[in-house]
Structure formats: C-alpha cells, structure tokens
Amino acid sequence: MSVVSMTIAAEGSSAPAERAAPNKWARWTRPALGLVLPVALAAVWEFIVRMGWSTGRLAPPPSVIFATFVDLAESGELQRHTLVTLERVAAGFGCGVVVATIVGAASGYSPVIRRLLDPSLQGLRAIPSIAWVPLFVLWLGIFEASKITLIAVGVFFPVYLGVMGAIQSVDRKLVEVGRAFRLSDVQMVRRILLPAVLPAYVIALRSGLGLGWMFVAAAELLGASEGLGYLLLDGQQLGKPAEIVAAIVAFAVVGKATDWLIALAAAPFLRWEDVVRQE
C-alpha cells in the first residue's frame, strides 16, 4: 500500500470520530436553540416591569408566573388539571385518529367512496368547533363523552385529509412496479403504499394533535370542573391574570411535549427517507 493511500485511509477512519463529537453536542444544542426566543422575550418583559415602565398587573412578568406555577404545583392543582386534560386529549386523539385513518384510507383508495363521502366531510370541516358544543352537550350531556367527542372531531379532519391526500399522491410508477413483480394486495400495501404514505401520515397526526389541544380548550371552557381550560376560566372569573398565563404556558409546554413524542416515535420508521435535511 502506498503512502498516499495509507494517509487517505487514516484520514477516512478519523473522520467519523471527528464528526461524532460535534454531533453529540448538536443533539443538545439544537433543541436548546428553540428556547432562545421565548427566554429572551421573557427576560425583556421582566426587565420592563422591574424598571417600572409597566405595572405588570394585566400582563404579569415571568417571575410572578413562575411563582404561580410553584403555588399550583405545591397545592397539587397543576398536576391534577394537567392530567385530566391529557386524558381527554389522549382519548379524543385516539378515537379521531382511528376513524380518520380508516375513512381517509378508504376515500383515498376508492374513487367511489371519495365521491360519496368527501363533499359532506368537507362541508362539516368548515363548521367552527364552538358550534358543535351545544349539540354534543344536548346529545351526550355535560360530562366526558361530549368533551372527548369534540376533541375527536377536531382531530379527525386533518388526519383524514392527510391520509387521503397521501394515498392519492403515491407515485403511479411505484404501483406499476409492484404489479410487475406480481405483489399481492397485502404486499402492495406493506412494501409500497405504507412507506409512501407514512411521512405525510406523521405530519397529519401532528396537525391533528394540535387541533385536539385547541378543541380541548374549547370543551373545557364551556362546562368543566377540572382541566387546564377550567384553570383558564377560573383565573378569568377571579381576576388572576397570572393564573391565566400559567395555564396558557402549561398548554404550550404539554402540547409541545406530546408533539415531540409523536415525532420521536415516528423517527425510526422514517430513516429510509432520502431527503434534504437542514442540519
């Protein structure tokens, strides 16, 4: 082996080791980068209030909000309300995803079913979430069933559209290749349709989850004795802006955490993608 080839081989073997250290740090620095903007805005607002340029009565500074979080956590209210809201979102999300996946897959695969169902579903999609509340309360009562149904409705439409659109956008050449290799229907779904649909399906799940969090707030604001939405309403009725903002921040934190869990769970199934990623 020549000296040049040995040098190239040595450099090639050391390259992964050199890249490992930056990648290890990047794993932690990239998520932390998303905290820069909210932390900076919080610091600016804290500074403005402490300088006396604003009273902070209606828009409390971060220090007051943090103290409110501590008080709610010590009393156990924060954990109780958060768990109740999480249970409602989980139940509504699960129901909405199952129904939307089945209906979306059928509509995307069958033109007849799509022509039969899609116009009505598109009309229902335009109905505001708040309009469903009195009807669900009348049908299902004021307890959990009406709230979970409302969340499921919010989750249904983005997942349905995502699944149907993903199936319709599958490259025809891929299907023709599968037929050329005489794949069965099950093999066609497992080896061609499912991998092609999965990236769009994950995005649809994340969109549906976001709407689920929006719909649970609407459900809890209009008839609930527990939950983060109830905490919002309680802060409004008692004139506690810090409690209102604390509930909003809790919504943001828990919602982002659940979205991150979906992305994390889906990552192993999307490693095959050969796409451009912004590092």
Q: Does residue 276 surpass a pLDDT of 60?
A: no
Q: Which of 171-175, 202-206, 243-247, 252-256 has the lowest mean pLDDT?
A: 171-175
DSSP string, the chain: --HHHHHHHHHHHHHHHHHHHHHHHHHHHHHHHTTHHHHHHHHHHHHHHHTTS---SSS--HHHHHHHHHHHHHHTHHHHHHHHHHHHHHHHHHHHHHHHHHHHHHHHH-HHHHHHHHHHHHHHHTS-HHHHHHHHHHHH-SSHHHHHHHHHHHHHHHHHHHHHHHHHTS-HHHHHHHHHTT--HHHHIIIIIHHHHHHHHHHHHHHHHHHHHHHHHHHHHTS-SSSHHHHHHHHHHTT-HHHHHHHHHHHHHHHHHHHHHHHHHHGGGGTT-------
Domain ranges for the chain: 91-270
Q: What pTM value is reported for the model?
A: 0.81
Q: Does residue 49 surpass a pLDDT of 90?
A: no
Q: Which pLDDT score is estimated for 16?
A: 45
What's the average model confidence in pLDDT over 20-29? 58
Percent of the chain with pLDDT over 70: 86
Q: Which is more confident, 66 or 56? A: 66
Using one digit for the tens of pLDDT, what is the confidence trace for 151-202? 999 999 999 999 999 888 877 787 777 778 777 777 777 777 778 888 889 9
Q: Which pLDDT score is estimated for 138?
A: 85
Q: Which pLDDT score is estimated for 27?
A: 61
Out of 3.90.1150.10, 3.40.50.1980, 3.30.1490.100, 1.10.3720.10, which CATH number does the structure's domain 91-270 have?
Answer: 1.10.3720.10
